[in-house]
Amino acid sequence: MTIENNQATVKAYVAAMNAGDFEALRRLFAADARIEGVTGSASVDEAVIVWRALHGSLNMNLKIEAMACENDTIVVRFLESGRWTAPFLGMTEPTGKSFELVAIEWFELADGLIHRRWGVRDAASQARQVGFPHAVGPAKPAVGIKVVA
């Protein structure tokens, strides 16, 4: 695939994430794709659990600020923003406070699909901005976690 096609896939990922269209997100990933992020390593199905929580509880929105491309690798710097309005991964007292932070995601693509995605974000800044409690239990949610949106 061309760099332009890969960029289009990553932009479609951002659009689907912002819209909360998790089926569209799934279609952008290879069947054996791995997602590496704040809560650990996961399959797409496991990552969707966290993405639903981010969208439904933190009202997350991604804005592309910069994109660098080389062959089948794309790195994106985002401005991530949102507001904590519903219970999130075991934290049950949303504050209604908003957040804005820098997030970076690294994508490896093949045949127009995302095969690996690494994500880093300033989670400590987010915690301070929205008022997350200091101790929230395990860092990686269990598969099948019930997310309250």
**121-141: pLDDT as tens digits:** 988 899 999 998 864 444 444
Residue at 91 is within a domain: yes
Q: Which pTM does this prediction carry?
A: 0.85
Quote the CA–CA distance of 43 and 134 in Å, as a whole number: 28
Residue at 45 is within a domain: yes
Over the stretch 84-130, which tens digit does the pLDDT of each residue have? 999 988 888 999 999 999 999 999 999 999 999 999 998 889 999 99
Residue at 82 is within a domain: yes
The one-character DSSP state at 88 is B
Residue at 50 is within a domain: yes
Q: For the chain, what percent of residues have pLDDT higher than 90?
A: 71
Residue at 43 is within a domain: yes
Residue at 138 is within a domain: no
Mean of pLDDT values over 1-25: 95
Number of domains composing the chain:
1
Helix (H) or strand (E) holding 17: helix 3-19
> What confidence score (pLDDT) does residue 134 get?
67
Domain span at 77: 3-130
Residue at 30 is within a domain: yes
Mean of pLDDT values over 39-51: 88
CATH of the domain at 30: 3.10.450.50
